[in-house]
Amino acid sequence: MSPLGLLFLTLFNSVLGLSILFPILGPLGRTLGLTEVQVGLFSTGYALMQFLLSPFWGRLSERGRKPILLVGILGFGVSFFLFGLFALLGEKELVPPAFLFPLLLLARLIGGAFSSATLPTAQAYVADITGRENRTAGMALLGAAFGLAVILGPALGAGLAALLGLLAPVFFSAGFALLNALFVALVLPESRPAGTREVRRLSPWDARVFPLLLLGFALNLSSVSLEQTLAFYFQDRLGLSALATARSVGLALVLYGLVAVFIQGFLVRRLSWPPKTLLLLGLPLGILGFAILVMAQSFWGLALGLALQGAGAALAGPGVTAALSLAVGEGEQGLVAGLNSSAQALGRMLGPILGTGLYRMAPEAPYLLGGGLLLLALLFLPALFRRVKL
């Protein structure tokens, strides 16, 4: 198997281990006596550590990609083991309630700190092993690995929880991470030649990358605001029960994920479009998706809007990542990948707060925000293309 294929499996395994937790965090939190706000802080704290530490790991990966991948995966596994252990002790009332939430939050912060090494290093690895003409296709394959894992992970997590209890997915993820680390150690080759490991610095305000980082932040902010409010929107717009909402949203999200995986895993790789084309196609599709979400009154109308928004994000996301990689030199790939991951993490951190806050004002507001951000980005694309040569 090629190094790119091996990296696909590495990232897929990492994201699968994370997404397994998605369906059980809420019910597990309630079982342990935690509030919804406290459960929400697990995700916010995780994203905060990724925002703070992704540039550090990206810079460190210039000395060698494989060791940083291993550190990230192993640290992620240890954090999940700690989270499961603290939750188990809390279930058995062996930890005082006042200490349980801080311990669980600490485990999530450790997870965010170490997992922030994985994605920027993987992006830099792709830049090492692909030429400029194949860079976009390589970045799209990473997006496909991410999307496929997000589709399969929640289903696996829900199945494990139903069979073995709510903590089974947590310990499964910890063990799966150790197996993934073993796979990386034994099979994945190093991509960074020993003679090219000079470590430089790259400012996020650098004119070559700042507009693209801002664009990536806007894309993530709009997508996360959508994801955090989608279940509420389906239930309120369609007048569904809680169970019917779960079924409808689950079906729509599977469609959303399949569209994204098809575009990134097949279409972008087959057509080899440059970043400029991906952005010019992706942003209008995303705007159209948000507009349909605002106007739709039926399940299939909402599903269509969600699928179009997913298609737009699946095109524009690799466009931004590849554009950042192509905007800098070969010795700056880890640096720019770290900055890119940090900008995306900032969007994931602010998206839930902004999305749910706007939803309380008006159910359509998060989608008007998302469409507005993408429209603003589309209007500024000509200036971006003049400033950043793609």
Claim to verify: residue 183 and residue 322 sit in the same structural domain = no
Claim to verify: residue 185 and residue 111 sit in the same structural domain = yes
Mean pLDDT in residue range 41-66: 90
**Is 198 a member of any domain?**
no
241-255 per-position pLDDT tens digit: 866 776 787 788 888
CA angle 218, 106, 143 (to 5 degrees): 35
Tell me the C-alpha distance between 275 and 133, whole Å. 10
Residues 6+ positions from 280 with CB-CB distance below 8 Å: 381
SS (H, E, C) 171-217: HHHHHHHHHHHHHHHHHCCCCCCHHHCCCCCCCCCCCCCHHHHHHHH
| Count: domains in the chain | 2
Query: What pLDDT is stored for residue 352 in this prediction?
Result: 81
Mean pLDDT in residue range 212-239: 88
Query: What pLDDT is stored for residue 390 in this prediction?
Result: 62
**Is 280 a member of any domain?**
yes
Claim to verify: residue 222 and residue 160 sit in the same structural domain = no
**Is 28 a member of any domain?**
yes
312-325 per-position pLDDT tens digit: 999 999 899 889 98
Query: What pLDDT is stored for residue 388 in this prediction?
Result: 66
Query: What pLDDT is stored for residue 11 in this prediction?
Result: 87
Phi (first) and psi of residue 227, to 5 degrees: -60, -40
Tell me the C-alpha distance between 214 and 221, whole Å. 10
Which secondary structure element, helix H or strand E, spans residue 310, and what is its range?
helix 299-327
Between 132 and 92, the higher pLDDT residue? 92
Claim to verify: residue 241 and residue 327 sit in the same structural domain = yes
Give the CA-trace dihedral at 18, 23, 25, 30, to 10 degrees.
Answer: -170
Q: How confident is the model at residue 53 (pLDDT cuts 50, 70, 90)?
A: very high
CB atoms within 10 A of CB 258: 15
Query: What pLDDT is stored for residue 82 in this prediction?
Result: 96
Claim to verify: residue 216 and residue 347 sit in the same structural domain = yes
Cα–Cα distances (Å) from 378 to 130, 166, 311, 375, in that order, read 28, 44, 16, 5
Tell me the C-alpha distance between 308 and 305, whole Å. 5
Of 190, 225, 244, the residue at which a domain comes to its end is 190
Query: What pLDDT is stored for residue 198 in this prediction?
Result: 57
Structure tokens at 253: 């999200």
In the predicted model, is pLDDT for residue 6 greater than 80? yes
In the predicted model, is pLDDT for residue 371 greater than 90? yes
Contact (Cβ atoms closer than 8 angstroms) between residue 160 and residue 16:
no
Share of the chain above pLDDT 90, in %: 37
Tell me the C-alpha distance between 192 and 62, whole Å. 7
Tell me the C-alpha distance between 4 and 7, whole Å. 5
Query: What pLDDT is stored for residue 271 in this prediction?
Result: 79
101-143 per-position pLDDT tens digit: 999 999 999 999 998 999 899 989 988 888 877 888 888 888 8
**Is 202 a member of any domain?**
no
Structure tokens at 71: 């550190």
Of 133, 158, 190, the residue at which a domain comes to its end is 190
Query: What pLDDT is stored for residue 231 in this prediction?
Result: 80
Rounded to two decimals, the pTM is 0.83
Mean pLDDT in residue range 343-371: 89
**Is 230 a member of any domain?**
yes
Claim to verify: residue 153 and residue 253 sit in the same structural domain = no
Contact (Cβ atoms closer than 8 angstroms) between residue 79 and residue 107:
yes
Tell me the C-alpha distance between 302 and 198, whole Å. 50
CATH code, domain with 355: 1.20.1250.20
Residues 6+ positions from 37 with CB-CB distance below 8 Å: none
Average pLDDT, the chain: 87
In the predicted model, is pLDDT for residue 66 greater than 60? yes
**Residue 41 exposure: Cα atoms within 13 Å on the Cβ side:** 13
Phi (first) and psi of residue 35, to 5 degrees: -85, 165
Claim to verify: residue 164 and residue 235 sit in the same structural domain = no
Query: What pLDDT is stored for residue 197 in this prediction?
Result: 52
In the predicted model, is pLDDT for residue 96 greater than 80? yes
Mean pLDDT in residue range 136-165: 84
CB-count exposure of residue 36 (10 Å: 0-12, 13-18, 19+): exposed
253-277 per-position pLDDT tens digit: 888 888 888 998 888 878 778 888 9
In the predicted model, is pLDDT for residue 389 greater than 70? no
Q: How far is CA 66 from the centre of its chain?
A: 21
**Is 205 a member of any domain?**
no
Claim to verify: residue 130 and residue 214 sit in the same structural domain = no
Domain span holding position 98: 3-190
Structure tokens at 208: 């070559």
In the predicted model, is pLDDT for residue 174 greater than 80? yes
Claim to verify: residue 94 and residue 171 sit in the same structural domain = yes
Owner of token pair 């006596």: 33
Tell me the C-alpha distance between 39 and 2, whole Å. 40
Claim to verify: residue 223 and residue 161 sit in the same structural domain = no
361 by DSSP, 3-state: which?
helix
**Is 203 a member of any domain?**
no
Claim to verify: residue 153 and residue 186 sit in the same structural domain = yes
In the predicted model, is pLDDT for residue 36 greater than 80? no
Q: How confident is the model at residue 81 (pLDDT cuts 50, 70, 90)?
A: very high
Query: What pLDDT is stored for residue 165 in this prediction?
Result: 86
Claim to verify: residue 86 and residue 39 sit in the same structural domain = yes
178-212 per-position pLDDT tens digit: 999 999 999 989 887 765 555 577 888 888 889 99
CA angle 325, 281, 316 (to 5 degrees): 35
**Is 123 a member of any domain?**
yes
Of 190, 223, 249, the residue at which a domain comes to its end is 190
Tell me the C-alpha distance between 80 and 178, whole Å. 11
267-311 per-position pLDDT tens digit: 887 877 888 899 999 999 999 999 999 999 999 999 999 999 999
